[in-house]
Structures are given as structure tokens and as C-alpha cells.
Amino acid sequence: METTADGLRWLPTSFRQGFSVTFARGVQPGELLRRLGCAACLTSMTRSDAESYEVGAAREGAVLRAGISGGWAYALQMWGAVGIEESAMTAASAGTECVVLISTSTIPWFAYMVDGEEICAFDPGLPDIRYGTGSGEMVAAMADAGFAVDGKPAAGSAVEAMLRLAEQQFGLGLPQHEVNHAALVAGIVND
């Protein structure tokens, strides 16, 4: 089910302990979960269900919840960053493109991949150190999003700039009410 998105800049306020989200264009939510390493998809979980599972004694791995927004499947993880693994990003982008956004207490990261190839990846706090075959092509979009690149001053925090870049360059967004309150297809992945 595709829903209206509310942008991405609400994520740090709603997920104060951190988050990671992987987007893959034209992929179904269950398929994205499988690509990210979920052996099986659960029927569904609300955010509250996922939080209870994550802190429970019987915890067997990290919960990823998935949906569709604007033609992109998304898989969201609270607190952790399964999506940063190179194998996960390669699998998520197979035959399509993916964007990975991470903001945890230890790892901030942006990555854009196309069919397994890293196009642009960087730590939002260090935007002048970029990786990927097309990283130079992203500089103007990064500056427009508020990153301090090419001598231009930063506008806002690095995470805000990362989320703004994803919104402006790729048209990405998440439906806030759905993410925070609805039951979404979910899977467990070892972390």
C-alpha cells in the first residue's frame, strides 16, 4: 500500500535514539526485507511491537519494518544500522537504486547505490570525504541541501542536511503516522 509521505526531517525528533532507513525504488517491502537479510517476514508489527521485541529477553535480532512511499520500498530500523553493511546495500540495490540514511549514536551515513555500484557515500559530518564513482556529481545537490562543501558554509545540522538531500535529490519521504503507529510488514535480521 502506497501512502502520502511527510518528508524525512521529522525522523530525528521521532527516533531520538537513532534510526536507519533503506529505500529501494520499485521493490516490494517484503522483497526489500529479504534483500537486507531477513530470513522470514513476520505478519506485521507496530512501532510499539518492534520496540518491545527489541528490548525483550527473547530477542533474536534486529527488527526491520517496511512499507512503500512514493514508488520506493523502505525498511526502517530503530537504533541500529543493518543497512550500512556493504552486502546489504549491494543486495538492496540489485537491479534498481537504493538510498541508505543512517543516524545513530555511533554511525551517521549516507549512501546512494545503483545496481550494486556505490555512486556516492559519505559521513554527513565529513561531506568533503566522499566515496563512489559519481560522488563528484553530487556536490551541487549536497550544497543545496545545506552541507559545507566547496567552501560553502553549512546550513543546519549534518543529519538535517542528509535528510534534506534525500528529499530534494531523490524525492524521498516517509508517512509519519504510518511509521509511528501502523502495523507494517516486519522481519528479523541478525545484528
User: Which positions ≥6 away from 162 have C-beta within 8 Å?
Assistant: 101, 103, 108, 110, 124, 145
Give the residue from 29, 8, 30 showing the smallest Cα distance to 20. 8
CB 54 within 8 A of CB 78: yes
What pTM, to 2 d.p., does this model score? 0.92
pLDDT band at 191 (very low <50, low <70, confident <90, very high): low
Give all strands (DSSP E) within 59-173, no chain letters: 62-69, 72-78, 97-103, 108-114, 117-122, 130-131
CB 67 within 8 A of CB 74: yes
pLDDT digits (tens, 9 = 90+) for 72-131: 999 999 887 876 778 889 999 999 999 999 999 888 999 999 999 999 999 999 998 999
Does the pLDDT of residue 152 top 80, yes or no?
A: no
Q: How far is CA 122 from CA 23, 67, 76, 144, 188, in A?
A: 17, 25, 20, 16, 27
* Neighbouring C-beta atoms of residue 101, cutoff 10 Å: 26
The pLDDT value given to residue 119: 97
pLDDT digits (tens, 9 = 90+) for 8-63: 999 999 999 999 999 999 999 999 999 999 876 667 999 999 888 888 756 677 89
Strands 184-189 and 41-45 come out as: antiparallel
The pLDDT value given to residue 85: 79
> In whole angstroms, what is the distance from residue 6 CA to residue 112 CA?
21
Does the pLDDT of residue 169 top 90, yes or no?
A: yes
The pLDDT value given to residue 3: 43
